[in-house]
Structure 1
């Protein structure tokens, strides 16, 4: 590019182009600035300052925590040496159970045996450095499995490393123990711990005790873990030459009041973003935003049960976008009765809003609870006070009991499995309720708030399949919420209410100005949820429609499992309406009674008319008076020949619902194919593996 200058301008610089005066210099500088502006298009000064936010942060509370924390060490071997730890307990947790087991185990190692142990999030350290852990240190892995044998989000990078580089791993100095959390209703029961143990052993690692496994199919996770933990602590005591001591609580956190802080300084309940530990991939979950619920309606036609349809507006939240098949992560709020009951039992009812600063005792750890905050926010938003109290926690609480009678009661319940289950079958035992039942009217003044933070899990989001298509409504999504209520075994008049589903029911009732119990602070912390808003985020899913819209798909669902298929059907109906070719869809759907809980019946009938031969619904009703109950698996067997023909057309299979339903559907599919095709078990296994590898079989199951 050529730039021409006026001769008069040029002449001002003299014969040889040199400036002679201040004016000359100014003209030259202006010309240079203009040229730079033209060539660079303003890039340097238009780029946002990445540190601009620091002008508005209080330096002592950067990132929600106190800023005097040392820089994070990503090498776990170095961390163990620097902090002189003897045992490291890695946790991979999706719902929070594995995390709380690990944290409690680290404390028990120290309290009962004087063993220096640290519990760490697998994503907080570089997975490669596990190979550097010396044989003088012991490693324990507590790992959950969910979905189709998947690891928790925070264990994803560790899982990928082991699976991709298993043949190159060399771990001769690693001495480890492992415990897995799973559900035998799932096809891949405890797959994560099985795979990791196999890789470890092939790499030369040495297990110092047998692998433990928890099965949540019948609610046995807690007892399975307690039995394994008892053996583990005994082995650790022997290996490290320690004698057991009295189990007296030693806090890992310091909680102190700071009345000089103002409300604006506090974390008042807004959820804290959690890292998934992936350093190379896009996050699986979006940022958390306050999304507006724009519509709510009841889907069941029975007064005894509730299922609600909610629609949410993503609006201007450009960082929160979904694709058909994704999940909505909803962050719940604890009900007023649980918060107030626990505050009263602790004697904090007058001090719930007092500013608190939370810090760790010792080195090498970071509090999972944001600081500064207050007790009201802690109990309502940050720690889960609505879950049942585990038997070992009941036993520990005895040391804080305000009366001899309450101490004896708690010790008896904690030591006897039979006594504990007899008591909990008659009483809904959340922490606040337990304290009130054990010592009615008494104040537990010796029970420190730090114990709750050390012992109770943090509040985690609950995930709901999105029941809409992003092709049709990119900025508006829907979820289908089955409201959980379960009567006590020996007190059927008392219901145990699901935390998140009943919170969402309260929001739905607020639309019609119908008051329901329990009550919640629906306006949220500092009123940020006023106007029917909830804190939520989008979580990516692998449960997606085939890339080619002409692919035949067969869908199996029961109850609220139909939610994700509503989005699938909407998307294909829209494609057909604009002239695109679509493949056939067959939906096998089961519910109790078509008059009571046939979800989205009218919508499905409308879609059937729009899609014509491209959409078929096969129903199974389990509780119709005067008729034999039928489930989805029964219908599959009844239509064995037709189903076998569908599979010969290269169909993709999708199963969505409770794990027990998915297990029975899978078995029915396999039985039908073996019988219709004359396959043996080897041929069936080959077919199943090829379906999974080819992304032709998808499961989205829970419970």
Structure 2
């Protein structure tokens, strides 16, 4: 008997639980997949693990959900798994569905934090666990993993001899403690007698390899099912997750036209975010402009919403809109041009699951506002698309592309593989053949939800309480030309950042004269008026997210701020606030700002303002040290090099003046800076690695070492 799969909608790093049952001819074998998902990005906007708070980038983060917590009916995992209720998100959901489609297994997924971790010991030998765990930047588990993490560390005598498991880690090797969580938990399981059915698999998002790493490991899991459980694979059978029906528009029908909605599952997460509002863009200007890059300074107006407030160091979440070209392409290749404005009703086939899509809407609203149609398509999805190919040539193309990691990588080098572009490419030899064979439900299941993109607020809340600003770097990635399809083309496709180019288009709408300055960058158009024209007059959908990246409570506390590129944004806000406090008669502490970029004349962001703030605060109070990596040919100076050059001052401020250290920028830069700071302290104190680690952890615990980084 196949039991239904119910869904638990999860936040960014939620552990998951999947239960699988299969009836064999002689014995009933319950195959249980226990999935703890602890994400960090990096994948979304997409899409990236190991991102430390405060960014919570939402690829595996869950921006849509109710502001309520989901609780389990029982705290006993073994009993709950036998009930086979629940479902999973992300990799957990994909793995569970594939087990069902390929082996007739029914799967349950649930949030591990809803259960008592000690009940794992009650599982039978006929049940199997699969852990999928992600790691934060400093090697820490998420809050939702803390239950099993603490239990495994506190119960060394508990026997787990009945536990059979597999494990996969999600991490980023640009961080020092790469995949530490999965290593620690696996080691604890083994010491208690648990038996690993497979070697630990690990994903590395440093070079965007998470998807491929997961696919490689997943095949080993399925091979284990075949060889160790003797399960027989069945022919592919697609079971739609959604039912879609046409509707006649009427005044009684509440039609969703595309405005974003935000319903965090957990009350704690809900308290972190403000409501989504349509914020007017008051000021937008270029901080730098080149043929390939632009940096926007954008100021927003909170005055229409008196209840909306921010604090220095918080983040602004911007909800982007898909570009017109991608929307039109996907509508065309699916043959939906004539149906795009028709009203449809979307319902889940499993009523126990929660629908994250609007119930009544239009196809155009889905493609333009609700789904991230610009996200890359995975090889796994490509292989599934083969079953719906409208022609043998399309099927052959997709099969070759999906099965060959090398061919897939080659195509990635020459073009951006969005859903629309992939489907068009597959039928390029028969362009009159639309993809009418593909179920619309599959498109809705496959395309990720549109997620907000986060930006550090670069203004002080006491200087500009009703006008927060953000700083966004807009760049274009130029791919190589395809030697086969475009032999005479010297350059390939350009990849545009989704949110940043949306903001750029909005800025150019306000300042059309700038389009002639950067014609290469200004290449995309958007529905800037938004759904029902609610964004008319240069507005964006946005919300404020509280951050822990804050100034010390005492203004006189000394500060060391280290940034590269747009990482200087929150430090601009910090310095604005310190300067204002000084004018109010408050004593401010000494400050050291290390800032790195490519060239002084090209991308020294806020240079004039920073120099003015230095004058206001006094050069004896604020010192600015710069590092320009491309100023001189053959000489690359990075911000960590400047930190090492000023090691005596850094050591004195940290160890004698007890300065608070801030690092903001890319994860790779942050790792290098942290290593240099650690080396400076260790050498002066003659500490070993354990002593240094303890010192760093203590400073982070007391908020005297703060990081705001992205992968």
Q: TM class, shorter-chain normalised? A: 0.7 to 0.9
Q: 1:488 to 1:82 in 2, by over 3 A?
A: closer
Distance 1:286 1:477 in 2: 14
Q: TM-score of the superposition, structure 1-length normalised?
A: 0.82
Q: 1:608 aligns with which of 608, 614, 617?
A: 614
| Mean CA deviation greater in 331-340 or 259-268 | 259-268
Q: What is residue 96 of structure 1 aligned with on the other side?
A: 59
CA–CA distance in structure 2, aligned partners of residues 460 and 192 of structure 1? 26
Matched, 1:324 2:332: no
Using the TM superposition, name which of 80-89 and 239-248 deviates more. Answer: 80-89
Q: Please list the CA deviations of residues 332-379 of structure 1 after superposition, one character each: whole Å capped at 9, or x if unmatched.
A: 111111111001000001111212222222353222222122211111
In structure 2, relative to structure 1, the CA distance for the partners of 1:71 and 1:689 (3 Å cut) is: closer
Which segment is superposed worse, 550-559 or 416-425? 416-425
Specify which of 260, 278, 290 is matched with residue 271 of structure 1.
260
Q: Secondary structure at the match of 1:569?
A: helix
Distance (Å, rounded) in 2 between the aligned partners of 1:360 and 1:131? 32
After TM superposition, give the deviation of residue 283 of structure 1 in Å: 2.4
1: distance between equivalents of 2:329 and 2:697?
52
**1:161 alignment partner in structure 2:** 147
Secondary structure in 2 aligned to 1:596? helix
> Counterpart of 1:544?
550
Residue 391 (structure 2) aligns with:
403
> How far did 1:247 drift?
3.2
Using the alignment, how far apart are the partners of 1:195 and 1:293 within structure 2? 47
Matches within 5 A, 1:77-226: 87=32, 89=35, 91-93=37-39, 94-97=57-60, 99-120=89-110, 122=111, 126-128=114-116, 131=119, 134-135=123-124, 138-149=128-139, 156=143, 158-162=144-148, 172=160, 176-194=165-183, 197=186, 207-226=196-215
Give the equivalent residue in structure 2 for 1:46.
none
* 1:100/1:455 contact within 8 Å kept: no
Partner of 1:10: none
1:573 offset after TM fit, Å? 0.8
Q: Answer yes or no: is 1:661 the counterpart of 2:647.
A: no
> Cα–Cα, structure 1 residues 550 and 183, in superposed 2: closer, same or farther, change >3 Å?
same
- Give secondary structure in 2 for the equivalent of 1:255: strand
In structure 2, C-alpha distance between the alignment counterparts of 1:307 and 1:465, rounded to whole Å: 14
- Is residue 286 of structure 1 aligned with residue 274 of structure 2? yes
8 Å Cα contact 1:103-1:454 kept in structure 2: no
Q: Deviations over 1:507-539 (max 9, x none)?
A: 111111356321111111111111211111112
The answer to whether the aligner puts 1:685 opposite 2:693 as a matched pair is yes
Closer/same/farther in 2, CA of residues 547 and 201 from structure 1, 3 Å limit: farther
For 1:116 and 1:272, how far apart are their aligned partners in 2? 31
Q: Does 1:564 align with 2:553?
A: no
Q: State how far apart, in whole Å, the 2-side matches of 1:187 and 1:555 are.
A: 21
SS in 1 for 2:577: helix
Distance 1:181 1:192 in 2: 9
Say yes or no: does 1:386 pair with 2:374.
yes
Q: Relative to structure 1, is the Cα distance of residues 190 and 689 closer, same or farther in structure 2, using a 3 angstrom cutoff?
A: same
Q: Superposition pairs for residues 236-255 of structure 1, below 5 Å?
A: 236-238=225-227, 241-255=230-244
- For the 8 Å contact 2:453–2:499, the answer to whether it is kept is yes
Could you tell me how far 1:227 is from its partner in structure 2?
Answer: 0.9
One of 688, 692, 695 as aligned partner of 2:703: 695
1:636 maps to 643
Could you tell me which residue of structure 2 aligns to residue 52 of structure 1? none
Structure 2: how far apart are the matches of 1:432 and 1:673? 53
Query: Does 2:286 align with 1:298?
Result: yes
- Separation of aligned partners in 1, 2:511 and 2:459: 23
Asked if 1:510 is matched to 2:500, the reply is: no
Q: Are the equivalent residues in 2 in contact too, given 1:77–1:129 (CA < 8 A)?
A: no
Deviation at 1:217, TM superposition (A): 0.9
Q: CA deviation at 1:285?
A: 2.1
Return the alpha-carbon distance in structure 1 between the equivalents of residues 132 and 245 of structure 2: 31
Change in CA separation of 1:369 and 1:139 when aligned onto 2, cut-off 3 Å = farther
Q: Could you tell me which residue of structure 2 aligns to residue 343 of structure 1? A: 331
- Equivalent residues of 1:77, 1:130 under 8 A apart: no
- Using a 3 Å threshold, how does the CA distance of structure 1 residues 118 and 318 change in structure 2: closer, same or farther? farther
Q: Could you say what secondary structure the match of 1:306 adopts?
A: strand
Q: How has the CA–CA distance of structure 1 residues 501 and 130 changed in structure 2, closer, same or farther, with 3 Å as cutoff?
A: farther
Aligned to 1:64: none
Distance 1:284 1:178 in 2: 31
More divergent stretch after superposition (231-240 vs 243-252): 231-240
- Deviation at 1:615? 0.8
After superposition, give the CA deviation of every residue in 1:472-522 in whole Å (9 maximum; x if it has no partner). Answer: 222221110011321114464421111111111111111113563211111
Gap change, CA 1:598 and 1:195, over 3 Å in 2: same
Aligned match of 2:628: 621
Question: C-alpha separation between the residues in 2 aligned to 1:562 and 1:637?
Answer: 19
Q: Tell me, yes or no, if the aligned pair for 1:641 and 1:676 is still in contact at 8 Å.
A: no
1:528 aligns with 2:561: no
Kept after mapping to 1: 8 A contact 2:22/2:105: no
Q: Is the 8 A contact 1:640 1:676 kept in 2?
A: no
Q: Deviations over 1:434-485 (max 9, x none)?
A: 1111103220001111111222221111111111111222222111001132
5+ residue gaps, structure 2, are: 24-29, 40-56, 62-88, 483-490, 516-521
Give the corresponding residue for 1:43: none
- Which of 463, 466, 480 pairs up with 2:457? 466
Match of 2:602, SS state, is coil
Q: Which residue of 1 aligns with 2:471?
A: 480
Richer in helix (by share): 1
1:576 equivalent among 579, 582, 606: 582
The alignment of Structure 1 onto Structure 2 pairs a total of residues equal to 627
**Structure 2 SS opposite 1:350:** helix
Provide the TM-score with structure 2 as the length reference: 0.81
Distance change (3 Å), C-alpha of 1:106 and 1:238? same
Greater Cα offset, 303-312 or 684-693: 684-693
- With over 3 angstroms needed to count, the CA separation of the structure-2 counterparts of 1:208 and 1:146, relative to structure 1, is same
Which of 1 and 2 has greater Rg? Answer: 1
* Structure 1 residues without counterparts, runs of 5 or longer: 1-68
Q: Greater CA deviation, 140-149 or 480-489? A: 140-149
- SS of residue matched to 1:476: coil
Contact 2:18-2:96 within 8 A present in 1 as well: no
SS, match of residue 300 in structure 1? strand
* Contact 2:9-2:354 within 8 A present in 1 as well: no
CA deviation vs aligned residue, 1:254-305 (integer Å, no higher than 9, x gap): 22222355596222211121314246x7622222221111111100143331
- Does the 8 Å CA contact 2:346/2:360 hold for their aligned counterparts? yes
Name the CA distance, whole Å, in 1 between partners of 2:153 and 2:682.
36
**Bigger mean CA offset, 284-293 vs 348-357:** 284-293
